[in-house]
Structure 1
Amino acid sequence: MNIFTLNIVLAISWAALTGNFTLTGLVVGFAFGSAALYITRPLFPGSERYFLRAWRWIKLITLFLYELVVSSIEVVWDVLTPTQKSNPGIISMPLDAKGEMEVLLVTNLISLTPGTLSLDVTDDGKTLYIHAMFADDPDAIRKQLKQGMERWVIEAME
């Protein structure tokens, strides 16, 4: 049985013991199960990878939510103020993400962020075309996306 399955079993067991079969009860059970498995990780060979991967996914979600809030504020500010600072443009970005799932996750996270939209990926999956609301400096946008979302996705998917 792998560690994730064991963690699910512990979460369901927690919910059964407390009589709280709600989403909150399962999340609490999953958290307690994770803590118990983390403490006993020397007993489970290969569990280090599970916890490293879980940490990377938590990091990806947290950093995406931060980017979401910051870009939302920037777009709202530009829309509500009398002067328009937006300079829309289309940018091509070479992709380091390998595999369909990594490319799909990168493009979806970019599209979910206000002010940016993934337009197309080349057939070979090596270039992504992005519409940016603030495209004053395309190199800075490329750098921010490559060092931000794309890197976080690649780390989480390893």
Structure 2
Amino acid sequence: MLNRLFPMPLHSCILVTVWLLLNDFSMGHLVLGTALAIVIPWIAAPLSDPHARVVKPFRAIRYIGMVLVDIVVSNFEVAGRILRPNHHLQPGLIALPLDLTGHFPLSILASTISLTPGTVSVDFSEDLKWLYIHALHIDDEQQLINHIKTRYEEPLREIFAC
């Protein structure tokens, strides 16, 4: 009974605590915060992927740092390409073969690619074996594929052990 009411008890406690820290402590806020702490995890529970568990948390922290650096560096690279007077962009669509499995790790990979300026995740194939990516400039398609696989996909496979 309690599992159905509180599918994610830790998340519920965190939600109530954050709600009370952000608002005045009063009976109304306590009741509203508790109601939200019950409803939000209850709605979100079916969306969670029970198979996606971080097995290497320190590797995950390094991955986040690496992605943040890549975002900053890519911003400058894209700005440099666009602001050149005679920029010759070679945009294109590539198909990235995937070794990664699991909906959550695949979503992280697609989000990482889309967050990095110059690339956007377009779609997954039906069997989730390919990720289609639009790139602003492609010098060498295979080099871009290798870069994404080694820089992003391999660390995610380590982090989630999939």
Answer whether TM exceeds 0.5 for this pair. Answer: yes
- How much has 1:70 moved relative to structure 2? 1.5
* Distance in structure 2 (CA, Å) of the matches to 1:69 and 1:59: 16
Aligned residue in 2 for 1:15: none
Aligned residue in 1 for 2:56: 53
Amino acid corresponding to residue 100 of structure 2 in structure 1: A
- How much has 1:100 moved relative to structure 2? 0.5
Amino acid corresponding to residue 126 of structure 1 in structure 2: K
* Distance in structure 2 (CA, Å) of the matches to 1:110 and 1:152: 14
* Distance in structure 1 (CA, Å) of the matches to 2:156 and 2:69: 15
Aligned residue in 2 for 1:136: 139
Classify the secondary structure of the residue corresponding to 1:93. Answer: strand
Which residue of the other structure, out of 86, 90, 99, is the alignment partner of 1:87? 90
Classify the secondary structure of the residue corresponding to 2:123. Answer: strand
* Distance in structure 1 (CA, Å) of the matches to 2:154 and 2:72: 19
Aligned residue in 2 for 1:105: 108
Which residue of the other structure, out of 59, 66, 70, is the alignment partner of 2:73? 70
Classify the secondary structure of the residue corresponding to 1:143. Answer: helix
Indicate whether 1:149 and 2:152 are aligned: yes
- How much has 1:85 moved relative to structure 2? 3.2
* Distance in structure 2 (CA, Å) of the matches to 1:103 and 1:143: 17
Amino acid corresponding to residue 107 of structure 1 in structure 2: A
- How much has 1:135 moved relative to structure 2? 1.1
* Structure 1 segment 106-125 matched on structure 2, within 5 A: 106-125=109-128
- How much has 1:141 moved relative to structure 2? 0.2
- Structure 2-normalised TM-score? 0.64
- Structure 1-normalised TM-score? 0.66
- How much has 1:91 moved relative to structure 2? 0.3
* Distance in structure 1 (CA, Å) of the matches to 2:155 and 2:136: 22
* Distance in structure 1 (CA, Å) of the matches to 2:82 and 2:88: 9
Classify the secondary structure of the residue corresponding to 1:56. Answer: helix
The structure with the greater share of residues assigned to helix is 1
Amino acid corresponding to residue 126 of structure 2 in structure 1: D
Amino acid corresponding to residue 121 of structure 2 in structure 1: S
Displacement over 3 Å in runs of 4+: none
Q: How many residues align?
A: 115
**Cα offsets for 1:82-132 (capped at 9, x unmatched):** 121321000001001111111111001101110000011011100010001
